[in-house]
Amino acid sequence: MVATYYPLIHAMEQEEICMDGFILDSHLNDIGPLEGIWGRGLYLRRCHRVVVRNVVSKNVLGDGFGCGQGSHISFENCVSSHNTHYGIHPGSHSPHTRIADCHVHDNGSDGVYLCWGASYSEVVDCDVHDNGGRLYRNGICTGHKDTDTLIARNRVYRNAKHGIHVRDKTEANGAHRTTIRDNVIEDNGWSFERVPEKLKQLPRQELTGHGVYVCGITRDLTLEGNTIRETRTGDERHQHHALYLAPKVTGLKMTGNVMEGHPEADIVDDAREASNVLQSDSKD
């Protein structure tokens, strides 16, 4: 099969522009034979100083919003929903991306995915929920050279795996100096029975739902003022821990976080590094 599938809006090598007030709807009902297609509703390539405001992107084969090889892109008061892959995807080499006041929900993979080199970026004041259902993914995901990023004042809930996931990278490529502040992160995680069969061979800890899951090698993260909790009851409590630290995470600082309701320990520390300052005053 040969198919052409273009973004509904595609900007290439543009500067100082604003897109405001569009509804982008691919009217996708069934993926069928188009499973491998990965497009975008709106895609900005090699663009700089662009504002995308009050735009809805939904039912897309791929990402709701994407950008790459540009800088100073702002997504403001946008909605990304029911897309087969990422909700909002600052792609490779997208420093100074700002995602603010956006509603990101029911996407097949991560709600917000910071790709390669989305450094000095912000994800603030967003509602990020019910993402990851097709590919068993997370609310917000950051990793490869995504340094000096602020994730603040968001509500991140009911995503398939972790609320916030910091990916496993080398020392040169980690999401160092990320600040996670004043978020509400709650009720993330599915039961193990709902995990896709092809993923069940992964380590159980990786498949268990967490509020925040931090992999190595990552340095100098800050978690402050967050509420990380599980509010469901009984066997429906699948956000097993507030925070997981993998080996080789160093320099993490925690202060003023509220952690409660988890069926297991609030913090799992497999890093065991003296440079990590963890809280001991969480609520049970």
Q: What is the pLDDT of residues 210-257, one digit of tens each?
A: 999 999 999 999 999 999 999 999 999 999 999 999 999 999 999 999
Token pair belonging to 161: 């795996």
Identify the CA nearest to 91 among candidates 148, 166, 40: 40
Rounded to two decimals, what is the model's pTM? 0.96
Instruction: Identify the pLDDT of residue 46.
Output: 98
- Percent of the chain exceeding pLDDT 90 equals 86
Mean pLDDT of 131-159: 97
Mean pLDDT for the chain overall: 95
Where is average pLDDT lowest: 31-35, 151-155, 248-252?
31-35
pLDDT in tens, 169-191: 999 999 999 999 999 999 999 99
Q: Which CA distances in Å does 225 have to 157, 200, 241, 248, 283?
A: 17, 34, 17, 24, 14
Confidence of residue 34 (pLDDT cuts 50, 70, 90): confident
Token pair belonging to 108: 């097949």
Identify the CA nearest to 15 among candidates 48, 55, 63: 48
pLDDT in tens, 54-65: 999 999 999 999
Q: Is residue 284 predicted with pLDDT exceeding 50?
A: no
Instruction: Identify the pLDDT of residue 281.
Output: 59
Can you give the three-state secondary structure of the chain, one letter per residue?
A: CCCCCCCCEEEECCEEEEEECCEEECCCCCCHHHCCCCEEEEEEECCEEEEEECCEEECCCEEEEEEECCEEEEEECCEEECCCCCCEEECCCCCCCEEECCEEECCCCCCEECCCCCCCCEEECCEEECCCCCCCCCCEEECCCCCCCEEECCEEECCCCCCEEECCCCHHHCCCCCEEECCEEECCCCCHHHCCHHHCCCCHHHHCEEEEEECCCEECCEEECCEEECCCCHHHCCEEEEEEECCCEECCEEECCEEECCCCCCEEECCCCCCCECCCCCCC
pLDDT in tens, 102-118: 999 999 999 999 999 99
Confidence of residue 98 (pLDDT cuts 50, 70, 90): very high
Using CA atoms, how far apart are residues 109 and 223, in angstroms rounded to an integer? 24
pLDDT in tens, 40-56: 999 999 999 999 999 99
Confidence of residue 37 (pLDDT cuts 50, 70, 90): confident
H or E element in which residue 174 lies = none
- 267 Cβ contact list (under 8 Å, min separation 6): 241, 242, 243, 244, 245, 259, 278, 279, 282
H or E element in which residue 151 lies = strand 150-152
Using CA atoms, how far apart are residues 219 and 276, in angstroms rounded to an integer? 9
Mean pLDDT of 27-49: 87
Q: Is residue 283 predicted with pLDDT exceeding 70?
A: no
Using CA atoms, how far apart are residues 114 and 88, in angstroms rounded to an integer? 8
